[in-house]
Amino acid sequence: MSRIGNNPVAIPEGITVDINENIVTVKGKLGELSQEFSAVAIKVEDGNVIVERSSDRKEEKSKHGLYRALINNMIEGVTKGWSKELELVGVGYRASNQGQKLDLALGFSHNIVLDIAPEVKVETVSEKGKNPIIKLSSHDKQLVGQVAAKIRDFRRPEPYKGKGIKFVGEIIRRKAGKSA
């Protein structure tokens, strides 16, 4: 039994949810998102989105909670939006942006220039004496996470000195170095 799938998703004011065949579309003040679905039935009743399954087959049970969570993330995204912050830890690590181009100096022989998707708003903060921070925000949670993971993969945090790109608030498990 999916406990998450059984909970209805409340639709706030100003948000419209449309269901056409097997596509759910959510429109709000920050944008529009759509998601294809299968193996479950989705309906809108008195201000709530309800996800139901017709049987207890394994596929339907697994997708029941999944689609409820995806719809909830879509509704929350078009109302409040999603954001992630990345911190560059290391001597000489810098980040700057010109519009949707993110320029990273991560200790390689060259700078890395990354084109960010137009749906994601990127902002860099560099204060003297503090690590540079990259702020990503969008109405699409999956896209923000994907872009953040791609940036993080350029220089993952290493366990000995903790240098690399990490999420703000992430705790890196540290290892002891060589003991003489």
Among candidate residues 145, 83, 154, the one with its CA nearest the CA of residue 113: 154
Among candidate residues 18, 24, 12, the one with its CA nearest the CA of residue 67: 24
Render pLDDT for 116-156 as a digit per residue (tens, 0 to 9).
999 999 999 999 999 999 999 999 999 999 999 999 999 99
pLDDT, position 116: 95
Render pLDDT for 79-117 as a digit per residue (tens, 0 to 9).
999 999 999 999 999 999 999 999 999 999 999 999 999
pLDDT, position 147: 96
pLDDT, position 180: 63
Check: CB of residue 141 under 8 Å from CB of residue 70.
Answer: no
Render pLDDT for 7-16 as a digit per residue (tens, 0 to 9).
999 999 999 9
pTM of the model as a whole: 0.89
Q: CB neighbours of 141 closer than 8 A, spacing ≥ 6? A: 73, 76, 77, 82
